[in-house]
Chain A
């Protein structure tokens, strides 16, 4: 069961209006029961990819197979077996939550009982409220409910938690985990690295229409060269140049010096802050402090934390995931 491929696409390309290349040869394979994440910045091609897989967009070239079938040959059967939540769908405001679910359920030949879905998504209390009156988190849960009511085997979620408060995000994660625990397969897109890291079994990092790295979250993180990050900044030398004193030498401009410290797997400098990727902080940090002391520099900042997918992305592209 676990080895069954449910979604496969090869060399997916999409060109809009003959100019804009949204996808430039994207491959992915999703196995049954997986929660698969497409992680990438805005405009990377995540939505284009997921909409091609959902059968809402045609790829310019490439192959797509869902449950061993293609959209061109078995559209009706595929529609019956997938559930979709688009980015920013605004459901009819003047229908109640229950009416909305009954409507969507009515499209499927076999659907789940509305009450059961309401209960599962903690919407029972709001069953008779108009959609327009719901909070952002409730609206998003309803959007996912409209995908679940058709009893799908695969759930496609495009940016399911964008713009939600932390509690609502956790509720969405719970829903995804429950669906997965009942044997469902999930493909979601996100630009939140913590979401991808916590929720997904397997991640493809997408940038400029291509997968630039793929693996389980631990695999991706260890690929950075260490599981820990040591970040520090040096204070400008206090009136060093004015006295002409040799006691404090110029702070090093090159990152090469830091690479000589024990256990450093990578060095990255950004906006005056130097980040070292290390495997064993207890070896690196004393050496770093000694080096600073020896040169008479001042540390204005020193933090250490676990490496994250964000670091993976920065390492691969030199940019941050969210430029905001």
Chain B
């Protein structure tokens, strides 16, 4: 075989040639792919900036605000000023622990009207030596206002609780909306950049006839796919570090689980969606076609896979189906590891879902893939 080759390569005029190793083609493909990526401003925006902006926006919109003040109106009667004074003094608790009371004294008719239209949560009518509460049991804040006002008055009047109790505030990082959101956004990002990153690149190359040009060279087709996958993994590491780093710095996200487990799961997720991207792009000749297919594939996961809100809100009948979606599995794993520090071994079911989706997509893609 070698001798035959020598004969094949015989030249009429000897030339200086560079002899390449087994992996030169792969290295060049990976280098070209990465260079193309960083030279594409849209890629930088959609992969790196967009998810962070989204996290920032949603994090601010749903940030934990201090509890709103409870509004109390007192119908002006003799003695109403004293009650107002008692209420304002109130029990000694900080506004972080319970809503502060906002107290106003108004003429009876106006007080009654303002309570009715909801400007105040409770109306107090002082009588001789007692206080009448006017409240609406159907409104939570009204019930709360009545209780708080009563507690404050009783405490100010010197009553002691019959049973000593202790209260503790729980607003630890880990149970906030932003903590739920960031792993979800990371999962969504891994899905998007895997599908677009691989699918678009391939269809574009096919449309440009670049794939055909490549297979007209001795390029190993496996190297080509390997280089695509490698470029995805390199990007994946950047995405994970950026997204979680942003969460840690901007929102004091606490990453409980191990980074190794997070990277491993992200790696599997990235490869799974790269394979899905490969499958959706395996035959499409035009960007428009591929774009449509990808949206159809991703849309259910955007809705059902618990990116922005828990999928537990969907009817119990469909939950098993939702859990079979690769993004659901990925998000569940990311949340379990990042927020609860669960070990990988406890994630067998979602791991299997992600791996199976990846493997099946990859083999189908290889079967259907069209180079020309």
Contact = CB atoms under 8 A, between A and B. Distances in A.
Interface of A: 1, 33, 54-56, 67, 69, 76-77, 79-81, 84, 86, 88-92, 94-95, 99-100, 102-113, 116, 130, 146, 150-151, 153, 182-184
Interface stretch (B22-30, B119-127, B276-284, B346-354): B22-30
B35 interface: yes
A81 B210 contact: no
Contacts, number: 116
B138 interface: no
B65 interface: no
B20 A86 contact: no
Contacts of A112: 15-18
Contacts of A151: 9, 11, 15, 17
B4 interface: yes
B8 A76 contact: no
A33 B35 CA distance: 39
B5 interface: yes
Interface residues of B, number: 36
B32 interface: yes
A146 B213 contact: yes
Interface of B: 4-5, 8-9, 11-13, 15-20, 24-25, 27-29, 31-32, 35-36, 39-40, 208-210, 212-219, 372
Nearest to B208: A90
A81 B8 contact: yes
B218 A182 contact: no
Contacts of A89: 208-210, 212-213
B9 A94 contact: no
B212 A94 contact: no
Contacts of B17: 110-112, 151
B4 to A, nearest CB: 7
27 contacts: A33-B12, A54-B216, A56-B212, A56-B215, A81-B8, A84-B213, A84-B216, A86-B209, A86-B213, A90-B209, A90-B210, A92-B210, A94-B40, A95-B35, A95-B36, A102-B28, A105-B18, A105-B28, A107-B25, A108-B217, A110-B17, A116-B16, A130-B39, A146-B213, A153-B8, A153-B11, A183-B13
Contacts of A153: 8-9, 11
Given A89-B213, A110-B9, 9 more contacts: A80-B218, A103-B32, A105-B28, A107-B214, A107-B218, A109-B218, A110-B20, A112-B15, A153-B8
A113 B18 contact: yes
B40 to A, nearest CB: 7
Contacts of B8: 67, 69, 77, 80-81, 153
Contacts of A1: 12
B116 to A, nearest CB: 67
B372 A56 contact: yes
Contacts of A107: 25, 28, 214, 217-219
A50 to B, nearest CB: 11
B341 to A, nearest CB: 42
